[in-house]
Amino acid sequence: MFEKALGLPLHILVVHAVVIFVPLLVLLALAYIALPRFRARLDWAVLALAVVAPITAWVGVESGEALQQRQIARGFSGEILDKINEHAEYGNVLFRYTLGLALAVILLVVATGRHERLPKLPRWAAPVLSVVVLGLGVAALVYVWLTGHSGSEMVWGNTFD
């Protein structure tokens, strides 16, 4: 299921979505925190990205595992397999940070929302969640870079030297 799309490895296609949606979630979440007067305009986009970003990261991990198994079956071993494993671990960590970020963002929107159907959280929840979102956002961006860099180094290596 996670192996191919349109004749190409699905992983090659979905990683581009991860590189777009995770940083966009971080950017809009930070805007949501820093610009409280625009929260009513940003909340729907932040919530949508809080759903989409972890899904793309999860599909990236699953499709990466399918591609990894295919490469092992083709005889990949040694140094290249070590690089694949390192890249896969970065991807797993990225998914965990993205999922945590998404959950924190959703809770932040609930904590700052003014809709009568939203549960009321304690006053300290919004500032604490803002700090959590900031920390997880930075971690997610670092792991987007580490994952993407390790993957592109494997594929492109010294091609342009």
Closest by alpha carbon to 71, among 56, 82, 60? 82
Compute how many other C-beta atoms are within 10 angstroms of the C-beta atom of residue 145: 14
Give pLDDT, residue 160.
60
Closest by alpha carbon to 151, among 103, 94, 83, 92? 83
Give pLDDT, residue 154.
86
Beta bridge partners of residue 8, listed in sequence order: 5
pLDDT string in tens for the chain (161-residue length) = 777 777 778 888 899 999 999 999 999 999 999 999 999 999 999 999 999 999 999 999 999 999 888 888 888 788 888 899 999 999 999 999 999 999 999 999 999 987 777 677 788 999 999 999 999 999 999 999 999 999 998 888 766 65
User: pTM for this structure?
Assistant: 0.90
Q: Determine contact, residues 115/56, Cβ cutoff 8 Å.
A: no
Give pLDDT, residue 159.
63
Q: How far is CA 17 from the centre of its chain?
A: 9
Domain ranges of the chain: 4-156
Q: End-to-end CA distance of the chain: give it in Å, rounded.
A: 37
